[in-house]
Amino acid sequence: MIKKTVPNVEKALDGVADSMTFMLGGFGLCGIPENAIAQLVKLGIKDITCISNNAGVDDFGLGLLLQNHQIKKMISSYVGENDEFERQMLSGELEVELTPQGTLAEKCRAAQAGFPAFYTPAGYGTEVAEGKETREFDGKMYVLEPAYKADFSFVKAWKGDEAGNLIFKGTARNFNPCMCGAAKITVAEVEELVPAGSLDPNHIHIPGIFVQRIFQGEKYEKRIEQRTVRQKA
């Protein structure tokens, strides 16, 4: 069996460079590839395009890359929770392409499945559809959306094995599965890396065929984006 393990995050990100396009899993701060993002910050690469549901918060997640002005363009569906994101977008420092959330997920999944494009009703009649082909099906209008193209996809899973098979935990499953195999190279960081054959095949969410590199991450902060507590009676 092919082993796809690499010893650390440095080897996992071998080949990343300026002006590349990256997919990054996660929703808010849930299930983000913390180790990969930290390494991108450390490498200092610039003029990158990031495809992610959102950009973290000011001092965590993709917000760290924004602070360093490493991101040239953000393709996402949500821009809240990050003041620096808002500031750069309004000032024109950051190019932003807003995409309906379901469409963003489907554009990743289409790339994963090898489909060049698909039709969706989301966004028809709005700015989202400007400059795009539209077509009517059964009396309803649809917008043609191209699949994403990316150089690297960085995802975070709970467990993985040496062959790249992945299991996600709870809501961290979000955008991570559909980004696996949707780029030229998929890098998976996992909390627990086990020998091939250790995982129950019935519990595997993503088969290893969609993953090129896998490593065991470390020091996960798993910060909570918004914490609401109830006062004691």
Residue from 187, 176, 175, 195 nearest 215 by CA: 187
pLDDT at 89: 93
pLDDT tens by residue, 67-116: 999 999 999 998 877 889 989 999 999 999 999 999 999 999 999 999 99
Which class is domain 9-115+149-216?
A: alpha beta
pLDDT at 24: 98
Q: Cβ distance 122 to 102 under 8 Å?
A: yes
Domain ranges of the chain: 9-115+149-216
Q: Cβ distance 39 to 9 under 8 Å?
A: yes
pLDDT at 206: 98
pLDDT at 232: 84
Q: Per residue of the chain (233 residues), what is the pLDDT tens digit?
A: 689 999 999 999 999 999 999 999 999 899 999 999 999 999 999 999 999 999 989 889 999 999 999 999 999 998 877 889 989 999 999 999 999 999 999 999 999 999 999 999 999 999 999 999 999 999 999 999 999 999 999 999 999 999 999 999 999 999 999 999 999 999 999 999 999 999 999 999 999 999 999 999 998 888 887 788 888 87
What does each C-alpha distance from 188 to 96, 109, 115, 182 come to in angstroms? 26, 17, 23, 13
What does each C-alpha distance from 177 to 5, 109, 127, 207 come to in angstroms? 19, 9, 28, 10
Tokens of residue 134, six digits = 């539209």
Beta strands in 181-229 (DSSP E): 185-194, 213-216
Beta-carbon-side half-sphere exposure of residue 156 (alpha carbons within 13 Å) = 25
pLDDT at 128: 92
Measured distance CA(4)–CA(1) in Å, rounded: 9
Q: Cβ distance 75 to 105 under 8 Å?
A: no
Measured distance CA(154)–CA(51) in Å, rounded: 10
Name the pTM for this structure.
0.93
Measured distance CA(136)–CA(121) in Å, rounded: 10
pLDDT at 101: 96
pLDDT at 231: 86
DSSP label at residue 147: P
Q: Which helix (H) or strand (E) holds 141?
A: strand 140-146
Measured distance CA(144)–CA(132) in Å, rounded: 6
